[in-house]
């Protein structure tokens, strides 16, 4: 079968290969992949610009959905031909305190698709029943493939962040996750929702506006510190979500967060943060990390997407066949696309 394989830990050492179809284990299904989203982290893996562990060779891709074509004998709740969308925790230990308490996204032995386990930029992928979710009939594969980043944003803004209706929230970085965090902040009732980004991401900032961001701050035209000071009478905002993750955006987060406020850091930084974090002490603020998601978040987000409460219209414009995987990656890398989606069986 065709698969997009990162074959060596070097920049751009990814290519389309013909590899064996995966074997379906007894508690797994074999999935015909119908749609798979390209994550910023897929582009980072491609460019070898990563702060997490991968194995090589590995089939890339972890945001996917499809149709079950084979099932193992211990699979109970899913049938052949079922349309399903899948979580990313391909392997967990099932025995640690996190697994036992449903927080398996923090399992120290977690192996994710597209990094440590062969992923979904391929015609078929093997998936354990544990991480499958039924897709409503009304939901298209293209939209369903966006469930995973929506769950990342939901976990960050709803599960991990104290948003209060009518209180402002700043979201820094209008990448896919940043834009989805804007949607979640709106759903939670934050007002105004303030998006911070650069003019080089003007098309994404425009989308931030379409998704409901009340105020757009272009950080290369105006210092966001001044803008936030003016908007809040000098106090700062109770919630800042850093979806960029580098030193300068983290410093900005500390500067604009209000006393007793919260900074949620979702973006990974390729380099260590190089700044004093004493403002956190002085402001009595908190720094909250957010990583991945769990089963309940998936069920909730699938309901929200299917009901149209999460507007994915601006995300579904860049669709590619598997032979065009490089174009799909390029479109993300050059920030042309907010989200590329690959259809491996189109």
Contact residues: Zn ion, CB under 5 A: 39, 92-93, 96, 99, 107
Smallest separation, CB 89 to Zn ion (Å): 9
Q: Are 152 and 266 in contact (CB under 8 A)?
A: yes
Smallest separation, CB 210 to Zn ion (Å): 22
**C-alpha separations of 149 from 214, 228, 238, 245 in Å:** 22, 28, 24, 16
Cα separation, 284 vs 260, whole angstroms:
5
Q: Which two structure tokens, joined as six digits, stand for 94?
A: 């099932």
Smallest separation, CB 120 to Zn ion (Å): 11
**C-alpha separations of 56 from 4, 11, 27, 269 in Å:** 12, 13, 25, 22
Instruction: Give the nearer residue to Zn ion in terms of CB position, either 149 or 238.
Output: 149
Of 85, 60, 104, 208, nearest in space to 146 by CA: 85
Look at the block and give the residue holding tokens 């696309």: 337
Instruction: Give the nearer residue to Zn ion in terms of CB position, either 39 or 117.
Output: 39
Element (H, E) at 125: strand 124-128
Neighbours of 2 (CB within 10 A): 18
Of 241, 292, 213, 271, nearest in space to 39 by CA: 292
Instruction: Give the nearer residue to Zn ion in terms of CB position, either 92 or 285.
Output: 92
Q: Are 293 and 152 in contact (CB under 8 A)?
A: yes
Instruction: Give the nearer residue to Zn ion in terms of CB position, either 64 or 228.
Output: 64
Provide the 8-state DSSP code for 279. Answer: H
Smallest separation, CB 191 to Zn ion (Å): 28
Instruction: Give the nearer residue to Zn ion in terms of CB position, either 1 or 96.
Output: 96
Cα separation, 291 vs 20, whole angstroms:
32
Smallest separation, CB 93 to Zn ion (Å): 4
Instruction: Give the nearer residue to Zn ion in terms of CB position, either 254 or 342.
Output: 342
Smallest separation, CB 263 to Zn ion (Å): 21
Cα separation, 152 vs 224, whole angstroms:
25
Longest dimension (CA), the chain: 63
Smallest separation, CB 148 to Zn ion (Å): 6
Residue 33, Cβ density class (10 Å: 0-12 exposed, 13-18 middle, ≥19 buried): buried
Smallest separation, CB 65 to Zn ion (Å): 14
Instruction: Give the nearer residue to Zn ion in terms of CB position, either 3 or 92.
Output: 92
Instruction: Give the nearer residue to Zn ion in terms of CB position, either 120 or 240.
Output: 120
Smallest separation, CB 298 to Zn ion (Å): 14
Instruction: Give the nearer residue to Zn ion in terms of CB position, either 92 or 237.
Output: 92
Phi, psi (5° rounding) for residue 265?
-105, 115
Q: Are 120 and 64 in contact (CB under 8 A)?
A: yes
């Amino acid at each position: 079968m065709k698969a997009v394989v990162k074959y060596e830990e070097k920049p751009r050492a990814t290519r389309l290969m013909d590899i064996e179809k995966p074997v379906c284990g007894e508690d797994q299904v074999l999935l015909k992949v119908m749609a798979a989203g390209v994550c910023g982290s897929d582009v980072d893996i491609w460019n070898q610009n990563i702060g997490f562990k991968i194995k090589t060779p590995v089939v890339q891709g972890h945001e996917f959905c499809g149709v079950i074509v084979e099932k193992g004998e211990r699979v109970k709740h899913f049938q052949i031909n079922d349309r399903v969308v899948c979580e990313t925790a391909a392997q967990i230990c099932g025995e640690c305190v996190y697994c036992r308490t449903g927080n398996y996204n923090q399992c120290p032995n977690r192996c994710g698709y597209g990094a440590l386990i062969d992923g979904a930029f391929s015609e078929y992928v093997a998936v354990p029943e544990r991480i499958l979710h039924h897709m409503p009939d009304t939901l298209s594969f293209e939209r369903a493939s966006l469930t995973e980043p929506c769950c990342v944003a939901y976990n960050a803004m709803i599960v991990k962040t104290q948003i209060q209706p009518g209180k402002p929230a700043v979201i820094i970085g209008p990448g896919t996750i940043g834009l989805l965090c804007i949607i979640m902040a709106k759903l939670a009732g934050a007002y105004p929702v303030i998006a911070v980004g650069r003019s080089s991401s003007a098309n994404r900032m425009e989308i931030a506006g379409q998704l409901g961001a009340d105020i757009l701050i272009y950080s290369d035209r105006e210092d966001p510190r001044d803008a936030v000071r003016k908007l809040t009478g000098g106090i700062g905002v109770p919630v800042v979500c850093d979806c960029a993750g580098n030193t300068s955006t983290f410093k900005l987060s500390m500067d604009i967060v209000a006393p007793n406020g919260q900074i949620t850091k979702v973006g990974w930084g390729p380099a260590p943060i190089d700044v004093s974090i004493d403002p956190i002490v002085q402001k009595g603020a908190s720094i909250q990390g957010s990583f991945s998601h769990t089963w309940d978040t998936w069920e909730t987000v699938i309901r929200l997407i299917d009901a149209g409460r999460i507007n994915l219209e601006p995300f579904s414009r860049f669709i590619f066949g598997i032979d065009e995987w490089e174009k799909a990656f390029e479109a993300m890398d050059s920030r042309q696309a907010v989200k590329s989606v690959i259809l491996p069986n189109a």
